[in-house]
């Protein structure tokens, strides 16, 4: 990502740190200004120190008790052993007390050394949690380095998620700004047509502008729902061919108005049931048909066909839409699923948002389907969506059915 922050090898920068943060790699103390402010309140510092010592001892209480218990057992064992050998207790007592003192002294020395090693890191972690510290220092212990590395990794993940959320938010904002700007055109056109004395004669133009508004509203509605996709989808058994025929039938006026006629190129009498979410799949198919209408109808004024095909391949079903439009330049194909990318065709044809195929890709990936686009140099664009078949039959390979003359049969389905 272009604005990705780097994490220094010896320190972890807090995301709220100012650019003038004086702390460098491996520094364990808080900000000097904060340190001087604290020195003005020694009572508060003493209370904080007592609490730190209390937490330090509580964390090591089991270990302290274990050491003292073992020392007591060793001294008791020596005392009993010497007593059995007839050693006078007056001579044994100082030895036992001396050994206990040495054990207790060594324990205190070890705790002091441990305290001096842990105190800077402990304070830094507390200050970091309170927003007063900008870095996690590297302590001398292996566990301290592990803590530093773990915190650094968590911070990297948090920053990556933050950048992703910011990019998504900006993408939504850009899309809404662009969408509002584009929706002004059909609204203004409808307003002018409605004011015309002979408005009834412009029925076809008004229907086209209404279709544009409807498509724009559907796109922005589904984009808003896409963030909560997991809560708004349900995989079910769907008859794909029946669903395509239903959508084509509902768009009959559009096909006639744009002189674009859908027809099936490949037929099969078998089942075309697939696993998908009917609502989100309907959105995907609508966007693909919208693109075909948008570009093919503006490419030339003569009548054109929109070629549809279904093909089975093992447990997969491929649905393909192929138009006779201008096609997509080869250099643009790798980027057609990028947000706001319109490419060369976006500059030649009106109403290109660059978000239709991006949303289609997001939905298709979320549903576990596949999608690919081909565009030969001679023109036309072919979009293939791959589904998971329901009860795929190995004898049905989805090959083209041919008539007696060996030609591929076609079926007009728009009416």
Among 85, 109, 140, the domain boundary falls at 140
Please indicate, yes or no, if residue 293 is contained in any of the structural domains. yes
Please indicate, yes or no, if residue 60 is contained in any of the structural domains. yes
Among 98, 124, 140, the domain boundary falls at 140
CATH number at residue 359: 3.30.565.10
Kindly state whether residues 240 and 342 are assigned to the same domain: yes
Please indicate, yes or no, if residue 152 is contained in any of the structural domains. no
Domain of residue 403 covers: 234-412
Please indicate, yes or no, if residue 183 is contained in any of the structural domains. no
Sign of CA dihedral 383, 388, 389, 392: positive
Please indicate, yes or no, if residue 118 is contained in any of the structural domains. yes
Kindly state whether residues 406 and 299 are assigned to the same domain: yes
Among 140, 172, 198, the domain boundary falls at 140
Cα gap 103→69, rounded to integer Å: 11
Please indicate, yes or no, if residue 98 is contained in any of the structural domains. yes
78-112: pLDDT as tens digits: 777 777 777 666 666 777 777 778 888 888 888 88
Q: Within a 13 Å sphere around the CA of 331, how many CA atoms are in the beta-carbon half? A: 3
Kindly state whether residues 238 and 377 are assigned to the same domain: yes
324-366: pLDDT as tens digits: 888 888 899 999 998 888 888 777 766 677 788 988 999 999 9
Beta strand 260-264 pairing with 304-313 = parallel
Please indicate, yes or no, if residue 262 is contained in any of the structural domains. yes
b/e code 357-384 from CB counts within 10 Å (16+ = b):
bbbbbbbbeebebebebebeeeebbbbb
Kindly state whether residues 123 and 259 are assigned to the same domain: no
Total count of domains within the chain: 2
401: CB partners within 8 A, 6+ apart: 266, 267, 268, 408, 409
Please indicate, yes or no, if residue 224 is contained in any of the structural domains. no
Tens of each residue's pLDDT in the chain, 415 residues: 444 444 444 444 444 444 334 333 444 444 444 444 444 467 777 787 788 788 878 888 888 888 888 888 887 787 777 777 776 666 667 777 777 788 888 888 888 888 877 777 767 766 666 666 566 655 666 666 777 788 788 888 988 999 988 887 887 777 777 777 767 777 777 777 777 777 676 777 777 777 777 777 787 777 777 777 767 788 899 999 999 999 999 988 888 888 889 999 866 667 899 999 999 999 999 999 988 888 877 666 677 899 999 999 889 999 999 998 888 888 999 999 988 888 887 777 666 777 889 889 999 999 999 999 999 877 789 999 999 998 644 444 333 333 333 333 334 444 4
């Amino acid at each position: 990502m272009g604005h990705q922050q780097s994490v220094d090898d010896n320190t972890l920068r807090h995301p709220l740190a100012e650019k003038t943060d004086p702390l460098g790699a491996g520094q364990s103390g808080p900000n000097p200004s904060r340190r001087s402010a604290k020195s003005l309140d020694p009572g508060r510092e003493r209370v904080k120190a007592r609490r730190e010592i209390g937490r330090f001892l509580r964390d090591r209480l089991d270990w302290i008790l274990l050491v003292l218990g073992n020392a007591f057992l060793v001294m008791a064992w020596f005392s009993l052993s010497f007593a059995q050998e007839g050693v006078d207790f007056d001579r044994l007592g100082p030895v036992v007390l001396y050994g206990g003192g040495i054990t207790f002294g060594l324990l205190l020395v070890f705790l002091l050394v441990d305290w001096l090693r842990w105190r800077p890191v402990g304070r830094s972690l507390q200050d970091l949690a309170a927003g007063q510290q900008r870095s996690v220092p590297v302590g001398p212990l292996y566990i301290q380095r592990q803590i530093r590395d773990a915190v650094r990794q968590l911070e990297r993940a948090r920053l990556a998620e933050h950048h992703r959320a910011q990019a998504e938010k900006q993408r939504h904002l850009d899309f809404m700004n662009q969408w509002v700007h584009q929706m002004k055109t059909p609204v203004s056109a409808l307003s002018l047509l409605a004011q015309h004395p002979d408005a009834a004669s412009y029925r076809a133009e008004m229907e086209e502008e209404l279709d544009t508004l409807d498509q724009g509203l559907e796109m922005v509605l589904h984009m808003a729902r896409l963030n909560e996709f997991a809560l708004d989808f349900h995989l079910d058994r769907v008859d794909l061919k029946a669903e395509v025929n239903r959508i084509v039938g509902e768009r009959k006026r559009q096909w006639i108005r744009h002189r674009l006629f859908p027809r099936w190129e490949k037929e099969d009498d078998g089942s075309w049931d697939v696993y998908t979410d009917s609502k989100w799949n309907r959105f995907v198919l609508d966007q693909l048909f919208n693109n075909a209408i948008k570009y093919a109808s503006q490419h030339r004024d003569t009548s054109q066909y929109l070629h549809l095909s279904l093909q089975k391949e093992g447990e997969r079903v491929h649905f393909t839409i192929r138009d006779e439009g201008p096609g997509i330049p080869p250099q643009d194909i790798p980027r057609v699923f990028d947000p706001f990318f319109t490419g060369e065709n976006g500059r030649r044809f009106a109403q290109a948002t660059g978000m239709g195929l991006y949303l289609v890709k997001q939905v298709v990936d979320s549903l576990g389907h596949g999608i690919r686009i081909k565009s030969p140099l001679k023109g036309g664009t072919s979009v293939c969506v791959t589904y998971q078949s329901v009860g795929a039959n190995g004898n049905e390979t989805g090959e083209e059915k041919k008539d007696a003359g060996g030609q591929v049969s076609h079926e007009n389905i728009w009416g």
